[in-house]
A and B are shown apart, each in its own frame.
Chain A
Amino acid sequence: MANCLNILTSGFTVDGLFQQLINGLTLGSIYALIALGYSMVYGVLELINFAHGDVFMIGTFVVLGVVDRFGLTDQSSLVVVIPALLVAMIAAMAVCAALGFTIEKVAYRPLRNAPRLAPLISAIGVSFLLEAWVATYVSADYFTLPNLIHGEIPILPDVSISYVQILMFVSSIAMMFFLQLLVRRTRLGRGMRAVAQDRDAAALMGVNMDRVVSFTFVIGSALAAVAALLWTLNFSFNQTVGFIAGLKAFTAAVIGGIGNIPGAMLGGFLLGLAESLGAGYISNLTCGIFNSSYQNVFAFAFLILMLVLRPSGILRERVSERA
């Protein structure tokens, strides 16, 4: 018992707590960006796009390719790095958008009116396809980018936020506002909201279902590409990174309320925090019985809890009733 009390507070510092919070928020911002794609697609089609995480993964490899092409190292000055990263972002967005569009057209559109199981299985097939393709024709190895953006801002004596982390956080918030703008001010955005509310009525009002769905996929995939760029700046990746990241992003979307854009953001941040704090402090809190390798379990546990207690998510989902 005394041992348990020792374990409870061992290694705990306020600095550490702050750092975990920052870690959680930055990780969460990437989940949020990916979750936006899931959320939008589900709102419009009521389909979990399993392949979305793998579109994100392709984005990471495109970024890798561009950075490689530019020959960036961690000595490269910002003058070279910033334009290179911009090029990488545009390239990744283009590739991912095209990929998302194609996937929707080929694998989901024929199954628009099929029972729910069918597009889900199709999505799994596409996910397999993408991962295996990258593993076969690009590489099955892990990759990291060199340290391209250096520097940090100290907050507390032992805690600092790196510029990369600030970039992640700011980008995702910015993307969310941009997306809200898109959804509220453009015609296609209005169409999205209409379809999400009531598919048949929207069709009756002259909304072009095909166009709206394609638009949704394109935007969602482009956002995933931005997330991919941010991911590569800080973490490693290989062809399996999309799957787990996608799963967690979907969990984030559900937590916040599927179909709901601010909800996806909120869910992302919450999940990131839960993971960071959970993995960081679980062994303290459970007397060492559970260890930090249970990290993924938290995400799923969070999901299951949400679905049991509050299935519509924190900010309430926005999905139409299927007739």
Chain B
Amino acid sequence: MVRARGLAVLASATLLPLAFACGSTGSGGGGGTASTCKPDSVAAAPAQTAAFSAQLASVVHRAAQTSNDPIIKIGYIGILSGQYTSYGVDEQRGAQLAIDAANAAGVSYNGTSYTLQLDSQDDAADPTKGAQGATKLVDDKVVAVIGGTFSGATIAESKIFSDNGITQISPSATNPKYTSQGFKTAFRVVGRDDQQGPADADFIVKTLGCLNVGVMDDKSQYGQGLADAVNTQVPVDKGTVVDREHVDTNQTDFSAQLTAMKGHNPDVIFYGGYSAQFGPIVQQARRLGIKATFVSGDGSQDSDAIKLAGSDAEGLFASNAGPAPSLQPGYAAFQAAYKAKYNDNIFQYAPQAFDATNIIINAIKAGGADKAAILAGVAATNNYQGVAQSYTFTSTGDVKESIFTIYKVESGAWKAVKAVTLNVS
């Protein structure tokens, strides 16, 4: 279900100046010759600080202004309850920060000044609940929506928003189906699983030089999709998928699948799924004596994975959609504002949610509170420079420049090691 169908992807793996030494020209040899698989030789890049306007910092210090301006509502729908709450709340906060910043600076169109408001609904990653929440947002007359968080509910909500002409920008839905349904109102500011998967596969085979790959997934829509993409790409890169295992999202004991995987002797195990399973999988694998390197996708690139894996977290790799924080121009300022308001660290996609909200706000400033005008404005976004990266939308609603970053756990934290930029034509 995750294929680069009919899409001309110019995979220009833009290797930004990162320090990594890996003597990896994959030899096609079999066993006996020295393995080219050297995961430890890939190290984190030194952080780059870049200049960015301090507009964010001012948000914190501006006192709350009460005003009688007419209100424009922007909707947020995402995971606000359940075990994946961290993802949704993080994005909601990003959106709220954008709205606060805009209100502080003033939003006006055609001489009228407006106040923006965020209307939040919970979809708990459930399509039915998402549909109801979306209906509520329609009732509340929002002009645009940021959301959903996970692809399943996002796809269910997209029809309702499309039916009502409401622009929807998702900060984190990576399933290709979301934008291939033909809805004019569906946008996203991150890349897709059918791009992330090949990026991961390329990293494993070409950068790490590891040819024997075991692929594992949690049989969820996201996890299997990503794992399938890796599964397809590894042989294309002249690697071998030695084993494919599946677990269940409710599973807590993985010894059977891990032991089976161990029998195939993979150098690297790729796991498509979320950190709630990834962490324990790594922990149990090490206990079983599995020495393979673990790589995962953006569902695991968060602090929960490190917490759950405990002491076995060192040396884990995971990819994430979006540039590395150290390479996001506005990250430092955004992080400071986030920390000041919420007394918490950014979890994952808050910068993307922030940028998506600002894209909408810019459309409002250009076209007012009219849904059709906002849709046109958002679709016409061209090289908008946000906190995370620069955005231009394609005709299907995807972002032209998909950036993925591979991270490694070093000293108990995720550090960026490689960036992959895909330019979609």
Whether the complex brings A and B within 8 Å at their CB atoms is answered yes
Tell me, yes or no, whether B304 is within 8 Å of chain A by CB: yes
A147 touches B83 (CB 8 A): no
Which residues of A are found within 8 Å of B117, using beta-carbon distances?
Answer: none
A292 touches B308 (CB 8 A): no
Tell me, yes or no, whether B289 is within 8 Å of chain A by CB: yes
B222-259: contact bitstring with A at CB < 8 Å (1 yes, 0 no)?
00000000000000000000111111101111011101
Tell me, yes or no, whether A19 is within 8 Å of chain B by CB: yes
- Given known contacts A27-B255, A160-B289, A279-B257, A291 and B246 CB-to-CB distance under 8 angstroms: yes
B262 touches A16 (CB 8 A): yes
Tell me, yes or no, whether A171 is within 8 Å of chain B by CB: no
Tell me, yes or no, whether B67 is within 8 Å of chain A by CB: no
Tell me, yes or no, whether B283 is within 8 Å of chain A by CB: yes
- Given known contacts A140-B85, A142-B308, A234-B284, A293 and B247 CB-to-CB distance under 8 angstroms: yes
The residue that A141 contacts in the complex, of B83, B250, B277, with Cβ under 8 A, is B83
Q: Which of A83-91, A235-243, A309-317 contacts B (4 or more CB under 8 A)?
A: A235-243
A11 touches B276 (CB 8 A): no
Alpha-carbon gap, A296 to B83, bound state (A): 21
Nearest A residue to B288, CB-CB: A19
- Given known contacts A140-B82, A276-B256, A279-B257, A147 and B311 CB-to-CB distance under 8 angstroms: yes
Which residues of B are found within 8 Å of A235, using beta-carbon distances?
Answer: 252-253, 280, 284
Tell me, yes or no, whether A74 is within 8 Å of chain B by CB: yes
B276 touches A141 (CB 8 A): yes
The residue that A19 contacts in the complex, of B83, B219, B245, B259, with Cβ under 8 A, is B259
Which residues of B are found within 8 Å of A15, using beta-carbon distances?
Answer: 263
- Given known contacts A74-B310, A234-B284, A11 and B304 CB-to-CB distance under 8 angstroms: no
The residue that B257 contacts in the complex, of A145, A147, A292, with Cβ under 8 A, is A292
A236 touches B279 (CB 8 A): yes
A23 touches B260 (CB 8 A): no
In the complex, how many angstroms separate the beta carbon of A6 from the nearest chain B beta carbon?
A: 13
Tell me, yes or no, whether A275 is within 8 Å of chain B by CB: yes
Chain B CB within 10 Å, residue with most, of A162, A234, A293 = A293
Within 8 A of B (CB), among A273-306: 275-281, 291-293, 295-296
A147 touches B255 (CB 8 A): no
Tell me, yes or no, whether B287 is within 8 Å of chain A by CB: yes
Which residues of A are found within 8 Å of B279, using beta-carbon distances?
Answer: 142, 144, 236
Alpha-carbon gap, A93 to B245, bound state (A): 37
Tell me, yes or no, whether A158 is within 8 Å of chain B by CB: yes
Tell me, yes or no, whether A12 is within 8 Å of chain B by CB: yes
- Given known contacts A140-B83, A293-B246, A295-B248, A13 and B263 CB-to-CB distance under 8 angstroms: yes
Alpha-carbon gap, A147 to B280, bound state (A): 11
In the complex, how many angstroms separate the beta carbon of A249 from the nearest chain B beta carbon?
A: 13
- Given known contacts A144-B280, A158-B289, A16 and B250 CB-to-CB distance under 8 angstroms: no
B287 touches A292 (CB 8 A): no
B308 touches A236 (CB 8 A): yes
B260 touches A11 (CB 8 A): yes
A147 touches B287 (CB 8 A): yes
Tell me, yes or no, whether A77 is within 8 Å of chain B by CB: no
A147 touches B259 (CB 8 A): no
Which residues of B are found within 8 Å of A65, using beta-carbon distances?
Answer: none
In the complex, how many angstroms separate the beta carbon of A128 from the nearest chain B beta carbon?
A: 16
B side interface size, CB within 8 A: 38
Alpha-carbon gap, A186 to B218, bound state (A): 48
In the complex, how many angstroms separate the beta carbon of B322 from the nearest chain A beta carbon?
A: 24
Which residues of A are found within 8 Å of B243, using beta-carbon distances?
Answer: 10-11
Tell me, yes or no, whether B264 is within 8 Å of chain A by CB: yes
Alpha-carbon gap, A211 to B253, bound state (A): 37
B392-417: contact bitstring with A at CB < 8 Å (1 yes, 0 no)?
00000000000000000000000000
- Given known contacts A74-B310, A142-B308, A280-B259, A293 and B280 CB-to-CB distance under 8 angstroms: no
Tell me, yes or no, whether A20 is within 8 Å of chain B by CB: yes
Alpha-carbon gap, A140 to B244, bound state (A): 29
Which residues of B are found within 8 Å of A74, using beta-carbon distances?
Answer: 310-311
Which residues of B are found within 8 Å of A24, using beta-carbon distances?
Answer: 256
The residue that B262 contacts in the complex, of A19, A237, A277, A279, with Cβ under 8 A, is A19
B270-281: contact bitstring with A at CB < 8 Å (1 yes, 0 no)?
000000110110
A63-80: contact bitstring with B at CB < 8 Å (1 yes, 0 no)?
000000000011100000
Alpha-carbon gap, A203 to B160, bound state (A): 64
Tell me, yes or no, whether A125 is within 8 Å of chain B by CB: no
- Given known contacts A142-B280, A292-B246, A147 and B256 CB-to-CB distance under 8 angstroms: no
The residue that A146 contacts in the complex, of B253, B277, B311, with Cβ under 8 A, is B311
In the complex, how many angstroms separate the beta carbon of B55 from the nearest chain A beta carbon?
A: 35
- Given known contacts A147-B287, A234-B284, A292-B245, A142 and B276 CB-to-CB distance under 8 angstroms: yes
In the complex, how many angstroms separate the beta carbon of A130 from the nearest chain B beta carbon?
A: 17
Which residues of A are found within 8 Å of B244, using beta-carbon distances?
Answer: 291
In the complex, how many angstroms separate the beta carbon of B267 from the nearest chain A beta carbon?
A: 15
- Given known contacts A140-B85, A141-B304, A293 and B253 CB-to-CB distance under 8 angstroms: no
A147 touches B310 (CB 8 A): yes
Alpha-carbon gap, A286 to B127, bound state (A): 33
A162 touches B259 (CB 8 A): no
Within 8 A of B (CB), among A4-54: 10-13, 15-16, 19-20, 23-24, 27
B219 touches A293 (CB 8 A): yes
Which residues of A are found within 8 Å of B283, using beta-carbon distances?
Answer: 144, 147, 236
Chain A CB within 10 Å, residue with most, of B255, B264, B280, B308 = B255
The 5 nearest A-B residue pairs measured at CB: A279-B256, A293-B246, A236-B280, A16-B263, A11-B263
6 extra interface residue pairs, beta carbon distance < 8 Å, beyond A144-B283, A236-B280, A292-B256: A74-B311, A146-B310, A164-B287, A235-B253, A236-B252, A295-B247
What are 12 sample pairs from A and B whose C-beta atoms fall under 8 A apart?
A10-B264, A11-B242, A16-B260, A19-B262, A23-B255, A23-B256, A23-B259, A147-B310, A236-B252, A276-B259, A280-B256, A292-B246
